Structure formats: C-alpha cells, structure tokens
Chain A
C-alpha cells in the first residue's frame, strides 16, 4: 500500500504534531502522562519528518502548499526544497533525541515546570520546521518570532534564578534587535518584488534597488541568530543557563536557522557582490578563532560548549565564504568544496554538539554543578557517558575517525587547490586558520575531557557523581553512532549532501564528480578502519595483560606522594592558562590577584579569575548604561501625579486640534 502524500504534507503534519505535543500535558491534570505523550508525539513526528527528508533527498520534489489566510500579506506558502532538507535532517533527529532525554532529565514527577518546558519544546521545534518551509516573508517572520519566543521561555525555565533572568533579558534584546533587521529585510524585499512571497532562486539581479541593503540586513538579522561575531554576545550565557536538552537544540538547531536565513536570502540573487564572499569568509574566520579562544578559557562546562558553537558556526561560514568567493572567481573547486564543507559541517555540528550538550546534562544531573574545576574522576563513575563524551569531543576537534574531520577535509582541499593557484592566493589562508582553530579545539577539549573525567574527584559532589538512566544515555548513543558512522563512511555523508550542493551551488554534474574525486574519501575510510583496528588491537592486548596481571589501584596524579589531595591536580584554569595568556587580546581574562601585603607570613588571600565577554561587558553594557542615564531626564515625565498625566493627554488633544488648522 502506498500513500501518495508529498513530502511537504508529511513535514506539515510533523510540524503540527510537534506544536500540539505539549497541549495534553497542559489540559490534563496528569503531568507524567502529558510528558510521556509529548515525547511519543515528538518521536513520531521525528520519524515522519525524517521519512519526508529522505524522500526529498532521494529526488521527490516537494509541492508548494498555499493556504489563503485573511491577512493582507498574500497567501501563506509552504514548500520544502533541498536547501530546507539539509536543515530538517538534523532538526528532526535532535528533536526526537532531546524529547526522549527530557523524560529523565526534567521528569514531570519532580519538576513542576515540566509542563511548560514540554509545551515550548514542541512549539520551538515546530516553529523551526516552519521557518525552513515558509516561502512568504510575513509567515517566515511569524515562525521566526515563534521560535525566538519559545526559545526564551525554554531558556528561562529556572525563572527564579537571577542569572537566568539576566541572560534571558540579554537574549530577548539580542533576538529582537535581529528581528528588527529582518523586518527591514522583508520590507525591502517587498519593495523590490512587490509581494511578500519569496522570489524564486536566482531571479533578482544584483542591480535591483536595495540589493546591498537586503544583504546587509540579512547578515545582521540572521548573523545575530547564528552567533556570528560580533553579534554572538547573547549566546554563551543563553546556552549555559538553559536546561541541557534545550541547549542542545538551541546550539545544534537554532543557530543553524540563522545560517539558513542567510543562505536563503543569498539564493534570491543571480549574482552577488565581490565583497560579500570575502566579508563572510572574514567574519567566519574571526568567529572561529575568537570563539575557540573564548572556549579555551571557560570554567563553566556549558559556557565552554557554547563558545565552541561560535567556533563551529565560524567554520560553516568559512565554507560559505569560500564558495561565494569561488563563484566570483569562477573556480569550481572553491564552490564545491566550500558548500560541501559548510553543509556537511551543519549536519555534523548538530550531531556532536547535541551529543556534548546532552552529555553535559548527564554531568550536571550526576554532580549538581557546571563548574569544570569541581569535577574530576568521573570516567569511573560514569562508564557509559564517558566514552560517549569522548566521541563527541574527538568529533568536535575534527579528528579522524569521526565526522568532524570530513567537513574540514573538504575545506582544506578547497583552500589548497584553487585557493593556492589563484592569482592572489588569499583564500588559501583558510587552511592555516582552520589548522589553528583545530589545534585550539584540541587543547580545549583535552582540558574539558581530562579535567572532568580523569584524575580524582575535586569535590564531594563529583565523588558522589552517578551514571544516568538509559533514557538519558540512549539518545546520546544514537547521536554518537551517527558521528561514528558519518566519520567511518564519509562517502555516505557526501552522497547525502551532494544533491544539495548541486542544487544550491548550481554546479554541473561532471564538475561535481571531478572535484569530489579529488577529495580522498575512500582512502580516509580505509585509514579510519585501520585506525579502529589498531585501537581494538591495542585494547585487546591491554585487556589480556590486565587479565594476567591484576592492576594496582592508586590515586591518579599521585606523583609518589603518600597522602596526596585532589587539589594538587591540574585544574582546568591552570591547564589552559598558557593559551589564555597567549590569546589575551581575544579573550580578555580578568584576574583579581591576592595582594601580598604580608609582614612575616602571608595572610589568607583570594584569587579570582574569569573570562569576560568583550562585546557584552566592554561595549554594550556601557552603552546601555549611558543611554539609561541620558533618558533618565525623560523619565521625569513619569512622576506619579495622575492629574498631570491627564494634563498630558489634554495638552496633546489641544495641540492636535490647533494643528489641524
């Protein structure tokens, strides 16, 4: 039996299912049932959505659905093309995993906010599905606003916490500033085309009025959501303070909506200005470098992961920038490799960053803290989470045999083939930048994994850390398997993305074959297999020796002391101190050293260290402070005298009456 519904319809059904998934939990007075039914709905929707995505990638064209609503902005148009699928693919996967995970992480039995969380989680996912399917500017903005607001409510689940309130406000200000730019964008687009419906791909010429303004507003509005420097300031705080599965969705999925917006806007034009490719490349490189530099110095587990999201978004934008530059200089290698790198990294980052955020949720659940320097020795206490977290960490560093390497490999190939042979080989500089970023990422994640999982516990909370239930580790296993499969069989990943690159980059089939033939994917698979085999062999030898000769257990980092304390271990801060000092200009660490005002013996002293957000703390906060001072004069108008308020209205009316003559 075949049901001849087109993929768009499936996707719309999935979106509706997601949006309504939290409603029963609100209406019925049975929170546990509500949460379970919502998770069931979300998983069902995810499976449905993935089926539709696979159909689309397989070549089934998605129909355009038109819904005539009474609003005066033209009909609501929904459609799904290949560009949408590259975002829908991870969206449904991560949503399903996150909603299963939430059953154990935020159980309705213990937390009263579970109903609210479940409702907005569904709405959030549904809004993102609609964002990538909307083909009308107003519909897009509505979905965009729905996504931004439900993210706000998800992020402020712990609304009693003053930190959460503060980052929530920063997020809300940032997202609405971005939305303001989007209002300008879609108004300009309407001014150009005469309708709110999206123009067909490549139909706007570069010379249309406002073309530059459209591109710039898109960069501001969507770039802010993606977390592109310097509009990233809301991101670390928001990701760190949200519940972990929400952070996974925000980082893995919501940031990508910004990338989608930029790609969609650029697709309207048949040719793009020369500076745009370089600008995006530059912003991407800056985000990647600065993001990972910020991540290196962090002490907060989730803040570190959030900063590394900025880095990964930077890598995605490096890919897009390379491709755009390639379009200008007519070099197919740059176009194909750039888009491949960007699209593959979009999928990969969703996989491993969600895995890491879910893992951080397990850590927080087990130890009750987010502070890296209070953890330690958790590998023994969390035997399932530890290897999963290791897989995520390796993948995010871009090391083989995991998937992070594949996307970056394409970028390297692009940079050192056409990038080098160009008359002015500026694009080739991408390779050293990527290498630097990769190196810093390795330092960051060695620090993260080493301090958290190895050594001995640095606090009582870490010593009592415990493993999570299968409901929490199950989704992580799924994501880790995704990372591993994509890394082991990169050809699979390439086949998946190839139609999208062909469609979006307007690349001819033979050029695709020629370029992708240059990328050593098959040797990579063989090398990966050998690597795994080697690892397994070493493991087997080790286990046999362990079996023959029972191990002696001593304290880690004991260094021969008889009574070592956990405090003689490296902390995360000390591990990364060298790098943070080298990158001082990017990271701006703030230290408060103890004063050595001793006479004979030093007195007890305090040492305080934190990594600051340059944009937020040194630019935006002072600006808002001074603006507040400037407007305090205006606030004198509001003094509490009702009569004078009436007088304001009276005077206004009077002035208006006189004005009319």
Chain B
C-alpha cells in the first residue's frame, strides 16, 4: 500500500508545481481542492481501518476538498477577478524556485533524525516541499485570494507531516486543527470582501497605507 501512497505524494508535489505555474485563480482553487482530496485518502492507505480513521478521512475530504474551495471560489466570483496579475516574481522563476525547493527538501529530509519506519517514505520530503511551496505562494503573489491559497497549501504541508502521527493524534486535535483552518478561511473571506469594497482592489501591496507610523 505504501508504494501507492508514495505515488499519491508525488502527485501532491506535482500539484504544488501546477499551482506555482498557473495564473488563473479558479484553476488554482481546483488544484488545491484536488490536493485536499488526495490528502483525505492518504491516511486510509497507510493505517489500518478504524472508525476514527473513517471520520478523519470524511472530515478532511469534506473540509479541504469541498467546503473551503467553495468558499474561496465564492469570494472570487463576488470580487470578479479571474487572474493573478503582475506577481512580484514571474511564473517561470517561481516554478523553477519551487523545483529547487522540492529538491532541497529531499536533501533536508535525508538528514533528519527520523524514526526507522518513516525513513523510506516520501512523507517528510513531500511535507517540507508543500510547506515551502505555500511560503513561495504567500511571498510572491499579490492578490489576497492567492495568499489564502498559499496559506491553504502551507497547511496541507503541515497536515502531511502530521499524517505520520495519525494514530497518536486524537480526534479532538484533528477536529481542532480543521476548525482552526475553517475559521481562518472565514475570517480571510470577510477581510477580502471588505478590502475589495474599501479599496476596490484586492492588491495586498496597497495595504501598506495601513501601516502605523
């Protein structure tokens, strides 16, 4: 089963690169939804079946695959934007950087003092690569919506890391993390709405006027 899990993780990393290279917001949202669904399936592949596991899988697919992408695309529709214009760093350079970071995360994971049963899996490098991708999205994109997506990707990276611990992770912690994410997205949705109404733009680089002197 773990071979199949590894293949899925490779898919996750490919989706990372897809997101870095695309300028269409709706496409990015769908990609992050697909990533969420894959993450939902993954725990079922590496751990024996239990009620707890089923609940986690269902919860994650529901939240990451359906609910959050729906909320974001709703915000996109309301704000009437389709594309990410003029990122701070172009698509091709970010894509290349993403590839470099993915390679680096493999190198880094090699050197981490992991438990022997986690040594041969792709979980750790995939987690770090996804985390770094999220950071890259957050730092290079201009639109608030892209930043929300970056935040989601980062969370996905953390989630992959947490997967190693699924058995040890109580339902409450899991639920708490998901709720956190959901509330975060809600708040961001509200903030985005207000930003677009107030400044008639979702360009976060304009927020610097709010800085306290």
* A interface, CB within 8 angstroms of B: 638-644, 646-647, 649-650, 653, 657, 660-661
Contacts and interface: CB of A to CB of B under 8 A. Distances in A.
B211 interface: yes
Contact of B204 (A638, A642, A660): A642
B115 interface: no
Given A649-B135, A661-B111, A643 B205 contact: yes
A640 B139 contact: no
Contacts of B140: 643
Interface in B129-144: 132, 135-136, 138-140, 142
A661 B111 CA distance: 8
A650 B209 CA distance: 23
B88 interface: yes
Given A657-B108, A661-B111, A641 B135 contact: no
A646 B138 contact: yes
B88 A643 contact: yes
Given A640-B211, A650-B135, A657-B108, 7 more contacts: A640-B209, A640-B210, A641-B205, A644-B139, A649-B135, A650-B139, A653-B135
Contacts of A641: 205, 208
Contacts of B205: 641-643
B207 interface: yes
A641 B205 CA distance: 6
Contacts of B207: 640, 642
Interface string B77-106: 000000000001000000000000000000
Q: Which 3 A-B pairs give the minimum distances between C-beta atoms?
A: A640-B208, A640-B211, A646-B139
Interface string B56-82: 000000000000000000000000000
Nearest to B138: A646
A643 B138 contact: yes
Contacts of B209: 640
A131 B116 CA distance: 54
15 contacts: A639-B211, A640-B207, A640-B211, A641-B205, A641-B208, A642-B204, A643-B138, A643-B140, A643-B204, A643-B205, A644-B139, A646-B138, A646-B139, A647-B139, A657-B108
B103 to A, nearest CB: 13
A643 B209 CA distance: 14
Contacts of B132: 650
A284 B211 CA distance: 48
Nearest to B210: A640
B143 to A, nearest CB: 11
B148 to A, nearest CB: 13
Interface in B155-211: 204-205, 207-211
Contacts of B88: 643
A646 B135 contact: yes
A638 B142 CA distance: 18
A100 B135 CA distance: 61
A150 to B, nearest CB: 29
A639 B208 contact: yes
A5 B203 CA distance: 70
A660 B208 CA distance: 35
A80 B170 CA distance: 49
A643 B144 CA distance: 11
B15 to A, nearest CB: 20
A649 B208 CA distance: 18
A653 B205 CA distance: 23
Nearest to A658: B108
A132 B46 CA distance: 61
Contacts of B135: 646, 649-650, 653
Contacts of A657: 108
B146 to A, nearest CB: 11
A643 B139 contact: yes
A661 B107 CA distance: 11
Contacts of B136: 650
A68 to B, nearest CB: 29
B211 A638 contact: yes
A644 B140 CA distance: 9
A638 B213 CA distance: 10
A647 B108 CA distance: 20
Contacts of A649: 135
A631 to B, nearest CB: 15
A642 B122 CA distance: 32
Contacts of A642: 147, 204-205, 207
B97 to A, nearest CB: 11
* Chain B CB within 10 Å, residue with most, of A644, A653, A657: A657
B140 to A, nearest CB: 7
Contacts of A650: 132, 135-136, 138-139
Contacts of B211: 638-640
Contacts of B204: 642-643
